[in-house]
Amino acid sequence: MLTLFHAPWSRSGRLVWLLEELGVDYEIRYCDIPRRDGSGARDPGNPHPDGKVPALRHDDVLVTESLAIALYLTDLFPEAGLGAPVGSAERGAYLTWLAWVAGELEPVLWSAISGEVARDGMAKARYDAAIARLFDALARGPYLMGDRFTAVDIMVGSSLGWARQHVPASDALDAYLARMGERPGNGRATEKDGTPPAIAAA
């Protein structure tokens, strides 16, 4: 059994999207988390060691952190075609892109949001390099690994969705995000991402 521990309107929503794209049976356990505005609290029912989301329980296995969960799920369900199997020619690029999201893209987006990019030359150089790499891949697209939609697109697309105003104007990027938004799996995930009554009343 797959159980995703998910907080509404958080970045764990991208794992709901991935599970919908995989087309597998799973359960969502909605939980509370501490929020930046001071609201929320650690949920005692959440098995994540830091009280964060996402966390995935697969029978007796616990996996945390978005990129680890994405890799775990796409390896678990290779027939869905959203990853790259061990030994395949695409495996290296797939692992690289997944690591890049966590190690480069998300940090520079937060740097832009916080204003660090505007006041620090090194932060600006790192930001420019990441955006150039993204735009170069989209120019060759239509997806980040070429002609095939993968979990990389879910991870990158979801990050760019909340940080679009902090990325330069780009017709290719806007078209890419439109393709992400049109995916039925994304629509189903969005419907499941809302605040359930039990949490809203808590």
Nearest residue to 84 (alpha-carbon basis) of 183, 137, 13, 152 = 152
Tokens 């060691």, residue located: 49
CATH 3.40.1190.20 holds for 2-81+186-200: no
Q: In the chain, what's the furthest Cα-to-Cα distance?
A: 50
From the number of C-beta atoms within 10 Å of its C-beta (0-12, 13-18, 19+), residue 171 rates as exposed
Question: Which backbone phi and psi does 54 adopt, to 5 degrees?
Answer: -85, 160
Q: What is the mean pLDDT of residues 27-42?
A: 86
Tokens of 139: 């120019």
Give the residue range(s) of CATH 3.40.30.10 domains in the chain: 2-81+186-200
Q: What CA–CA distance (Å, rounded) separates 92 from 89? A: 7
Tokens 């290719």, residue located: 172
In 3-state terms the chain splits into helix, strand, coil percentages (rounded to 5) of 55, 10, 35
Q: What CA–CA distance (Å, rounded) separates 190 from 9? A: 9
63: part of which helix (H) or strand (E)? strand 61-64
Query: pTM of the full predicted structure?
Result: 0.92
Note the pLDDT of residue 168: 96
- Strands in 55-58's sheet, in edge-to-edge order, are 27-30, 2-6, 55-58, 61-64
Q: How confident is the model at residue 195 (pLDDT cuts 50, 70, 90)?
A: low
Give the residue range(s) of CATH 1.20.1050.10 domains in the chain: 91-183
Tokens 């966390």, residue located: 55
Q: What is the mean pLDDT of residues 73-98?
A: 98
Architecture of domain 91-183: Up-down Bundle (1.20)
- Note the pLDDT tens digit of each residue in 136-166: 999 998 999 999 999 999 999 999 988 999 9
Tokens of 44: 């005692």
Identify the bridge partners of residue 58 per DSSP, sorted by sequence position: 2, 61
- Note the pLDDT tens digit of each residue in 184-194: 999 999 999 86
